[in-house]
Amino acid sequence: MLSDKIILLDESATDNQDALGKLANQLLKSGAVKESYKPALLKREIEFPTGLATDEIGIAMPHTDAEHVNYDQIAFMRLHQPVQFLQMGDGEKIQVKFIFMLALKEAHSQLDMLQTLIALIQNKAKIQQLLAATNEDEVVQILKDAGIE
- For the chain, give percent helix, strand, coil, nearest 5: 40, 25, 30
Looking only at the bridges linking them, the beta strands covering 73-86 and 6-11 are parallel
Q: In the chain, how many domains are there?
A: 1
Residue 14 inside a domain? The answer is: yes
What are the strands, taking DSSP E only, across the chain? 6-11, 51-53, 58-60, 73-86, 93-103
| In a domain? residue 95 | yes
What's residue 55's pLDDT? 82
> What is the rounded distance in angstroms from the CA atom of residue 52 to the CA atom of residue 21?
19
Q: Can you give the C-alpha Rg of the chain in angstroms? A: 14
pLDDT for position 11: 95
pLDDT of residue 1: 66
DSSP letter assigned to residue 56: S
Q: Which domain holds residue 29?
A: 6-145
Q: Is residue 1 part of a domain?
A: no
Q: Return per-residue pLDDT of the chain as tens, 149 residues.
A: 677 789 999 999 999 999 999 999 999 999 999 999 999 999 999 999 999 998 889 999 999 999 999 999 999 999 999 999 999 988 899 999 999 999 998 876 777 777 888 888 889 999 999 999 999 999 999 999 988 87
Taking the C-alpha atoms of residue 104 and residue 109, their distance in angstroms, rounded to an integer, is: 7
Classify residue 60 by burial, with Cβ atoms within 10 Å: 0-12, 13-18, 19+: buried
For the domain that residue 120 is a member of, what is the CATH number? 3.40.930.10
Residue 42: inside a domain? yes
Asked whether residue 45 is assigned to any structural domain, the reply reads: yes
